[in-house]
Amino acid sequence: MSERSNFIDLIRIFCHSGHGGAGSRHFMRNKLTAMGGPDGGDGGRGAHIILRGNSNLWTLLHLRYFKNVLAEDGEMGSKNNCTGKDGNDIIIEVPLGTIARDEETGKIDAEILEDGQEIILMKGGRGGLGNSNFATPTNQAPEHAQPGEPGFEGWKVLELKVLADVGLVGFPNAGKSTLLSVITAAKPKIANYAFTTLTPQLGMVSYRDNKSFCIADLPGIIEGAAEGKGLGHRFLRHIERNSALLFLIPADSDDHKKEFDILRNELEEYNPELLQKDFVIAISKSDMLDEELKEAIKKELPTNIPLIFISSLTNKGLTELKDLLWETLNKPQA
């Protein structure tokens, strides 16, 4: 399978929860009782459709051919006040960071953030009450029993936003995939053309004392991504959950400040809240720079954002980068 088809971050499924079973309209009849009272049981509940978080999943790929989710109806009630069996709930396992929204209204129905977390995406219909519930002193033989409530149906959109500690932000060819391959065990595609990374690549960075953090190389951003150019919103969706953003700007860029400003502006256009995250700037391919050029680049860029010079080729500055990212992720919240 290609990289593109291996990672699925958006999928639509048709869901139909179960109808509730009808209540029973029954009267007790046996050889000892010719004209007994009502003993119709309640109908069973229709099956729910439930989302469950699974920390071992990274993609919605397994749901690609799971387009119609049709849940069981509840069983009818029966005599002797027997309640009908509930429909068997359908559980859909999804990666952490999955959002479910109603396609018609756009409303978010569920957000899965923890392993084992369960949220009912679509409730099954309630079972109807049997006629034994309607007996009164003045009406001791009620003929009435409730029908079960219908289930619900509709298209749901499942959308995955990658849960990573650090998101790598940069233009295509900034060296993000190379950096990820050097500081983590991830094996991203690396080539010198735009949009090599078509889907988020995740890797765990091993840190001192057996600590680690997660870093995501996200698809390259280009000017106009917030309006949907390039990979547009597909890329930007994944950085909403990153705690910190690492801006990677190559040393051989024509204008380092302009490149940073464009990237920052794209984030603001998409969602101004992204600017509340912690930023770190790394100048990649800096093995080609002398001290004079480094000073010139420093003067171009904002002084209030940590800046580090690195080279994935020579491993220069990578230990210091890990230290800086760890400090950024673990600094006390103001």
Q: What is the C-alpha separation between 233 and 225, in angstroms, rounded? A: 7
* Domain shared by 253 and 132, yes or no: no
Say how far residue 262 (Cα) sits from the centre of its chain. 27
Out of 143, 160, 177, pick the residue that ends a domain: 160
> pLDDT class for 241, splitting at 50, 70, 90?
low
Average pLDDT estimate for 119-133: 92
Q: Would 25 be classed as within a structural domain?
A: yes
Q: What are the pLDDT digits (tens) for 65-95? A: 888 999 999 999 988 889 999 999 999 999 8
Select the more confidently predicted residue: 143 or 195.
143
Q: What is the C-alpha separation between 236 and 222, in angstroms, rounded? A: 11
Question: Coil, strand, or helix at residue 327?
Answer: helix
* Residue 34 pLDDT exceeds 90: no
Select the more confidently predicted residue: 286 or 205.
286
> pLDDT class for 237, splitting at 50, 70, 90?
low
What are the DSSP calls for 168-179, one per residue?
EE--TTSSHHHH
* Domain shared by 126 and 217, yes or no: no
- Which letter, b or e, does each residue of 291-328 get, where b requires 16 or more Cβ atoms within 10 Å of its Cβ? eeeeeebeeebeeeeebbbbbbeeeebbeebbebbbeb
> pLDDT class for 140, splitting at 50, 70, 90?
confident
* Residue 166 pLDDT exceeds 50: yes
Question: Coil, strand, or helix at residue 297?
Answer: helix
Q: What is the CATH number of the domain that holds 171?
A: 3.40.50.300
* Residue 330 pLDDT exceeds 90: no
* Domain shared by 21 and 81, yes or no: yes
Out of 142, 160, 178, pick the residue that ends a domain: 160
pLDDT, residue 179, reads 83
Count how many domains the chain has: 2
Average pLDDT estimate for 129-148: 86
- Bridge-partner residues for 202, per DSSP? 216
Percent residues over pLDDT 70 in the chain: 81
Other C-beta atoms closer than 10 Å to the C-beta of 111 total 16
Q: Where are the alpha helices (DSSP H) in the chain?
A: 3-6, 176-183, 232-236, 256-270, 291-300, 318-329
pLDDT, residue 193, reads 35
| Candidate from 20-34, 45-59, 188-202, 226-240 with smallest mean pLDDT | 188-202
Average pLDDT estimate for 213-232: 55
The token pair at 74 is: 């509840």
305 closest CA partner among 253, 269, 256: 256
The token pair at 321 is: 């980068």
* Residue 317 pLDDT exceeds 90: no
Average pLDDT estimate for 157-178: 78
Q: What is the C-alpha separation between 160 and 144, in angstroms, rounded? A: 48
| Candidate from 111-115, 201-205, 283-287 with smallest mean pLDDT | 201-205
Q: Would 19 be classed as within a structural domain?
A: yes
Q: Would 198 be classed as within a structural domain?
A: yes
Select the more confidently predicted residue: 160 or 128.
128
Select the more confidently predicted residue: 234 or 254.
254
Q: Would 334 be classed as within a structural domain?
A: no
